[in-house]
Structure 1
Amino acid sequence: MKEVIKVLAEIVNSTHDLLIVIFNNLGFQLTDKALHFWIIGFIGIITYFIVYACFKILEKLKWSTTFFSFIYTFTIMLVLVFAIEIQQAITNRGNMEFADAVIGLWGFLVFFIVYALIAIIVYLIIHYVKKRKKTFF
C-alpha cells in the first residue's frame, strides 16, 4: 500500500506542477493556495452535482433513509480504514497494506448484509402478520 500511496502522491504532485506551469503560461500567476482554491472548488462542485443527482434518484425509493445511511457510513468507513493504514505507516506499528483496508471494508459489508437480511425477514413477518389480521377479522 505504501507503493500505491507513493504513486498516487507522485501523480498528484506532477499534476500540481503541470497546472501551475499551464496557468502561469496563460498569464495567471497562481499561488499554491489559489490553485488549491480553484481546483478543489471545481472538483467539489462537480462531485456535488453528481451526488445530488444520485440522491434525488435514491430519495424516490421506499427505503431511501436506509440507502443514505449506508452511503454515509460506508464513506466514513473508507476514511477510517485508510486513516488507520496511514497511521500504521507513520508509526511503524503494523503493516500498511491495501489488503487490510479492503478486508476491513468487507467486514463492514458482511455485517451490513447480515443486518439487512434480518431486517428484511422481520419486515416480511410483520407485513404478513398485519395482512393476515386484516383478512381474519
Structure 2
Amino acid sequence: MTIHLDHLTVPARDKLASAKRLAELLGVPCSGTGIGPFAPVYVSDSLTLDFDEWIDPVPMLHYCFRVEQEAFDAILERIKAAGIPYRSSVHGRTDFQIDTTHGGSIVYWNEPDGHQWEMLTVSYARPV
C-alpha cells in the first residue's frame, strides 16, 4: 500500500493573509476566501496546506518544499521582490545567501507568525 500525505494544518493569526502570501510566493493556487474553517493552499496535486486561524499562541513549525531548480529560482525571485529576509542556514542569521553544500540549492525564510519555510532542490533528508 502506498501512503500519501494529503494535507497539513498550519496555524496562523490571519489564515487568509498567510495562505495568500505563501500561495503567491510558491506560485500555486489558494482558495482565496477559505473553505469551512480553513484557507487551503494547493501546493501540488497531492498536498494541501490548510491554514487555520488561532487565537492561542502559534508554535513555530518547519515546512520544507522540494522543487526543481527552475521553480527554486522563480520562487526565490518572488521572495526577494516581496522584501522577505532569507538565509542559507536553518538556525542562522539573515544572510541573503543560498546553501549549496548538499548538492543542490537550499534557502530558508520565516512567515510573520514565526513558521519556518525551507525550499530545496535536492533532499538531504533521504538518500537519492
TM range (shorter): under 0.3
- Identify the structure with the greater strand proportion: 2
Q: Could you tell me the TM-score, scaled by structure 2's length?
A: 0.27
Q: Could you tell me the TM-score, scaled by structure 1's length?
A: 0.26
Where relative contact order (Cα < 8 A, 6+ residues apart) is larger, the structure is 2
Tell which structure's C-alpha radius of gyration is larger.
1
